[in-house]
């Protein structure tokens, strides 16, 4: 089992819809969780971090963490074509400098 798993997609949603991106992780001692956005040919850009169970909102983005079920998700409300990118989930074990990245989910928002 991979340590951090994401569906590779592509996930296709219409403009204005809610896009839901999911990530599961295997290590129960994981403590920190991050979402990055990566446009084609560009480097990853941090969108959100979440450390506690529950929801964290930032503009159109909401990160949701459920440690008991070992998943973290990213919701994008009112999706725009400019949100079309690959979204990477990253997870840090407790005491580690180094996050483990998932391979990313490709999101396509069509007009």
Contact set with other proteins (CB under 8 A): 31-32, 34, 36, 42-46, 49, 51, 88, 90, 92, 94-99, 101-104
Q: How far is the CB of 110 from other proteins (least distance, A)?
A: 23
Q: How far is the CB of 76 from other proteins (least distance, A)?
A: 19
| 79 or 106: CB nearest other proteins | 106
Residue 31: is the preceding peptide bond cis (ω within 30°)?
A: no
| 20 or 100: CB nearest other proteins | 100
Sequential DSSP letters for 65-109: EETTTTEEEEEESS--GGG-EEEEEEEEETT-SSPEEP--EEEEE
Place of tokens 């973290």: 72
């Amino acid at each position: 089992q991979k340590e951090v798993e994401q569906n590779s997609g592509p996930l296709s949603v219409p403009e204005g819809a809610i896009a839901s991106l999911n990530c599961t992780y295997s290590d129960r001692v994981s403590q920190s969780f991050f979402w990055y956005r990566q446009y084609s040919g560009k480097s990853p850009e941090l969108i959100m971090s979440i450390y506690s169970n529950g929801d964290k909102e930032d503009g159109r983005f909401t990160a949701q963490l459920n440690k008991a079920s070992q998943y973290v998700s990213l919701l994008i409300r009112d999706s725009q074509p400019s949100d079309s990118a690959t979204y990477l989930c990253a997870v840090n074990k407790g005491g580690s400098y180094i996050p483990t990245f998932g391979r990313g989910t490709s999101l396509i928002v069509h007009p």
